[in-house]
A = this chain, B = another copy of it.
Amino acid sequence: MGLQNTAPKTDQEPTLRERGRAKRIARIRSAAEELFAARGYDDVSMSEVARLAEVGEATLFRYVNSKSDLLLMMIGERVAALLDDIERADALAPSGSGRDYLDRIYRIYESRASMYVSDPMNISAFMMVGLDDASSLSAQAISMGDRTLALVTRILEEGQQAGYISDAAHARTVALNCNGAHLHEISRSPVRKLSPETFPTRLRERLAAQLEPLLVVKARPKG
């Protein structure tokens, strides 16, 4: 995507042309952020972004292919940073009991839920656009979904190997169901008029219904 390729190609000073380009990109970016934050992705048009960024619409489309590319720029980086944080935090989490394994999974979705609560309209648009196979966003959204899926699968497999989590179900299928509950709860919230504030509690309950029955109560070793 052209918008991320803002650095000049050599060590030399940027030319006038390159500086103009960088300025326009910064204006487009901040215009999109302002408009999306105020009214949400669905209700903002590219011509409004062009107007607020003080560029012509033709110029806007030289820098971004589509409105969904603007969304990717805004939300994609935030989601990627959140996943970095989640993976770092999880690497330090304790795993001394079955409860620890489940808590690691709950914490992952607490982080994701809090991002949704902070910007429900745009996060849910990002998710819906990511599910559209015709969108240039979908590859990126898939790779982000895969990171959560891989992490939760690994936690469950570790828990199964340690004997704390039932291995009656495939770890990856359970992880897929956790992701599914997250996405489904986001997608049904607007149409069901559910408040974003109750999202973390709703999601937690849905995850618990899947995960708690898998907890194996081990006898304490004698000694």
Cross-chain contact B180 with A184 (CB below 8 angstroms)? yes
Cross-chain contact A191 with B138 (CB below 8 angstroms)? yes
Chain A interface size band reads 35 or more
A16 interface contact, C-beta 8 A: no
Cross-chain contact B131 with A187 (CB below 8 angstroms)? yes
Nearest B residue to A171 by beta-carbon distance?
A: B209
Binary CB contact string for chain A from 66 to 101 against chain B (1 if under 8 A, 0 otherwise)? 000000000000000000000000000000000000
A37 interface contact, C-beta 8 A: no
Please name 20 pairs of A and B residues whose Cβ atoms are closer than 8 Å in the assembled complex, sorted by A: A128-B131, A131-B190, A133-B190, A168-B212, A168-B213, A169-B208, A169-B209, A169-B213, A170-B209, A173-B205, A173-B208, A174-B209, A176-B184, A176-B206, A177-B209, A177-B210, A179-B184, A180-B180, A183-B184, A213-B213
For the complex with contacts A131-B191, A213-B213, 18 further pairs of A-B residues with Cβ separation under 8 Å are: A133-B191, A166-B213, A168-B213, A169-B208, A169-B209, A170-B205, A173-B206, A173-B209, A174-B209, A176-B184, A176-B206, A177-B177, A177-B180, A180-B206, A183-B187, A184-B184, A209-B210, A210-B210
